[in-house]
Structure 1
């Protein structure tokens, strides 16, 4: 993010530009509808907010997304290393339910795109997003996008509606771009009722916070479920949490891969499988560190062993899930 010496002539000119942009996606913006969230045909995400909600005049935010990066490219950026790729490949192909968590701008969607490359090509994948950003690398992908209400306040289709409908579409995998409301309950129920291998992202500052946030979001559903029951549901549905962090130098890294090893009504018990330990920033303004790995819980190792799916060729090395599980168990 950098400031440029470019300015609109006036607030009226900026407002005219905003109106032209939102009109291309059949939206309108005025005092009765001062906030607009839309996606341009070319893929950019657009957000508009105008007075009286904005005290500094009309605000137009356009987010452009780069092409999707592969796991090999992310290794080159230092976001993860080869050992972490093999671990994630085993978890994805053994159909563990994975939650990718992190703050805004940490690269959750980028990692989700990269992880999708580990899903076998023959599986039917359904993606559900608020604004379509995912660029999955498979061919058998069905993309669904929510729809806001029209100018009459009708026709809204929420993420939750799409999650419910996806269960009738015979999915092998359900990928939810981001859970931020009551749809998390439907997602958890899908994960715990036969739709293994699902992936989703959530805003959270740590793996522990991600579990708490999921529980809170699920309670926002119009279905009144006791908080204790939601706790049990999360213990049953979620298998892995992948935490992303953006460091002071702008680098984005996987800082923890945590396995949820608790059952039923037990308190959440996370077992760290991998962790990035950062060192103090160097004089050149860079943050360096080391990836560390820890023994897998027996239940996870057994599940990886039983999956026994060959991992994709990468870096000239071929491993299988059973080899990975055996190595980690040792």
Structure 2
């Protein structure tokens, strides 16, 4: 068994591994957008075939004290079924910790449905707020904001301005770049999602005021569960923007045949008020799929960031 960084020749085997593990999820496509992907991918290889792999990528993430941390975000963790139970992921995680620390990452972040795999390697879960709600048969239109429209490619600059403003002081959010909007976000928000925008313009003109009222939300309404994955709010009445967006999503979710909706968003007053107004039977809950591990930062500092009021890590920033 050989443990090492990935090489270009490993790409077909890696792609096959990720397709087996993650199906149609865009793990391989996202991996190829990282120009430093080969040295940041650690693999276990036997007889020329990748049996296990993971990829990490440094990302700028806002901390609870207002700073921006360099965070090693982990993804693409997979092992071929016939090679499981041999401790391969444990070894790869150890190698990744060494590499991320050498790269001066303050801490590491990952999202998983199998947290026990990572606990023994030092990662700890943290709660992510969400709401579960039944969809009203005829969602009432919001009285204080126009119903949103579907956003298109011409709206990207406006979406980015809204995202930057809403997240400016929000812990656990990624500082998105133009490359993120161009290369990464479209992979996660594909044809199974809809992006709704309350701003009346079709595109943000150069120099447009990012503080003017508006908002957007992304929801997945394809086969399976319906869920809100991301939102941003701006203006003097963010609750009105949130209510308009959630109403628009409820209408579309109903039309797509859904009867229930999960809202993944920070538990802040504007969001909470909108959820309660649009979905009278909504119940607050928490997911425990996010995990963090200190590297150069203290455990207390990392914990303060991931559990801070209003903290959220948007699905579109997943590695």
Q: TM tier, shorter chain?
A: under 0.3
Which of the pair has the greater relative contact order for Cα pairs under 8 Å at 6+ separation?
Answer: 2
TM-score between the two structures when normalised by the length of structure 2: 0.26
Task: Report which of the two structures shows the higher radius of gyration computed on alpha carbons.
Answer: 1
TM-score between the two structures when normalised by the length of structure 1: 0.25
